[in-house]
Structure 1
């Protein structure tokens, strides 16, 4: 008869999650600041491309607010209704951000279509150009920060927000270069054409975000490197056991759930088997960030001879 050995549920929000919530609040302020700068640049220049850039910033504000709400929910401790915690809330934010990005791209294409057929002249006052450059610099610095923290803390919401902002920076730089060229050369069609290119870039970014986030909601397993490392740890630190099989993983935000069956000699006591489980849990927690481990202990006759042989 198997003996499930699990970690205790988390009872309080962790300090790292509280730090992520603070970053989420700053993201909202940054998004509002950038929106103001870009919209002012559009008003000064009348550029459709800069308008599309400002429109995407409205989506950035909405996405930052969604990410902040999701991070607050994810930081809640486990409870009776959610014994595994609330970490999946971040994926809902990332999916919503992807949807908002797609809507922004469609709105830009709607505005740019008529202008492609009848482009108008542009003005490029230095102040408008400077405001757009300043907005891009702020976005670039903050996007780099969010991507770095999102990856290290394994936060889907922050990582998605950072990647979205970085795609915004890339498109903004392209827009600025194009608007300058359109003004200098008189090829005014470059302005709506660049707006369309920005929209296509936004669509690609939105699709990428939604694909990754839906994978998290569908309980996608850990990446191949993590799964290989888990198997190595089981083989190296399972002394006293015979094999481990049916190793399953799934990710939920910062948490990686690991489950497997551990086969031990039939005459081993419960206390001895529990000691092996404790050792494996400690190793997995140390090597796999956010690991939550469930081990099913089985007697020797349950061995499949096709799992991980303990060294």
Structure 2
């Protein structure tokens, strides 16, 4: 049985994370809708390929943000008979889907930029385009600041993926702003060249995002620094003579941690259980929402066959 104060901390942490995740997804969708409308107007007035690139990027952001909203809603459902560990991997699936959307937008932008290089088209109303892109930059910066706060509190892969979209969108907006300013000075090829550079940046971001999503779906271990901290916390309890069999992974923003404690042979079952609760409480202080499984081993057995002791 987990101590009541630990249960309360876990419940409060999960509720707070759920609230932040829902706010972040709705903020993302709302921002994308506003930016699409503004950039659509700017593209209609300027005909800029860079503005079109930024518009397509925002359209992909909207699709990804809606996907995120649905995935986060699904991932926050409690465990059920078919999903004992919960539905957290829905966020990793959403991140993988987003990477495909981003890669598609990159290929589209690259094709449009190459076409504009081969058949240049003069830009118009660059002043309007500059004003719209400046507005987009401010709105994106505000959203990124909020998403950074949510990621720090929840470690959500879906929000991290969405934040990467908008970081890419910010870079796209800055590049578009530069392209419009150079085009206004007579540098006609600056617009498609910068649009092509944006496409390359977006494609690289998509590949990185997809790789991170695959890592989550393949149950990649937590970072070495986090694993070392878990081992240190477990080993700090006086009755614990060793820790081995540490296995970790993430399901959405929730860490899943399994480990074995080496205890005295003559320790009673009740005392062994008490030691495990102390270790669990220490780990929960580091990961308040973690799903922790602890197994107790008598010291006379040492490590299990074929399993090396953790350092």
TM over 0.5: yes
- Contact 1:264 1:299 survives alignment (8 Å): yes
Asked whether 1:151 is paired with 2:152, we answer yes
- 1:287 alignment partner in structure 2: 286
Q: How many residues align?
A: 301
Unaligned segments of structure 2, at least 5 residues: none
- Contact 1:151 1:159 survives alignment (8 Å): no
The separation in 2 between residues aligned to 1:124 and 1:147, in whole angstroms, is 35
Asked whether 1:170 is paired with 2:141, we answer no
Task: Find the residue that maps to 1:187 and give its secondary structure.
Answer: coil
Matches within 5 A, 1:219-234: 219-234=219-234
The separation in 1 between residues aligned to 2:297 and 2:235, in whole angstroms, is 17
Could you report, residue by residue, the CA deviation over 1:241-266 in whole angstroms, capped at 9, with x for unpaired residues? 32111111111222111111112222
The separation in 2 between residues aligned to 1:209 and 1:125, in whole angstroms, is 33
- Going from structure 1 to structure 2, the CA distance change for 1:107 and 1:193 (only over 3 Å counts) comes to same
- 2:250 alignment partner in structure 1: 251
- 1:88 alignment partner in structure 2: 89
- Contact 1:221 1:249 survives alignment (8 Å): yes
Unaligned segments of structure 1, at least 5 residues: none
Task: Find the residue that maps to 1:25 and give its secondary structure.
Answer: helix
Task: Find the residue that maps to 1:60 and give its secondary structure.
Answer: helix
Matches within 5 A, 1:205-220: 205-220=205-220
- 1:199 alignment partner in structure 2: 199
Cα offset, 1:125, TM superposition: 4.1
- Contact 2:126 2:184 survives alignment (8 Å): no
- Contact 2:129 2:180 survives alignment (8 Å): no
- 1:57 alignment partner in structure 2: 58
- 2:239 alignment partner in structure 1: 240
Cα offset, 1:23, TM superposition: 2.1
Task: Find the residue that maps to 2:182 and give its secondary structure.
Answer: helix
Asked whether 1:307 is paired with 2:296, we answer no
- Contact 2:96 2:210 survives alignment (8 Å): yes
- Contact 1:144 1:162 survives alignment (8 Å): no
Task: Find the residue that maps to 2:236 and give its secondary structure.
Answer: helix
The separation in 2 between residues aligned to 1:156 and 1:308, in whole angstroms, is 28
- 2:296 alignment partner in structure 1: 297
- Contact 1:250 1:258 survives alignment (8 Å): yes
Asked whether 1:47 is paired with 2:52, we answer no
Task: Find the residue that maps to 2:300 and give its secondary structure.
Answer: helix
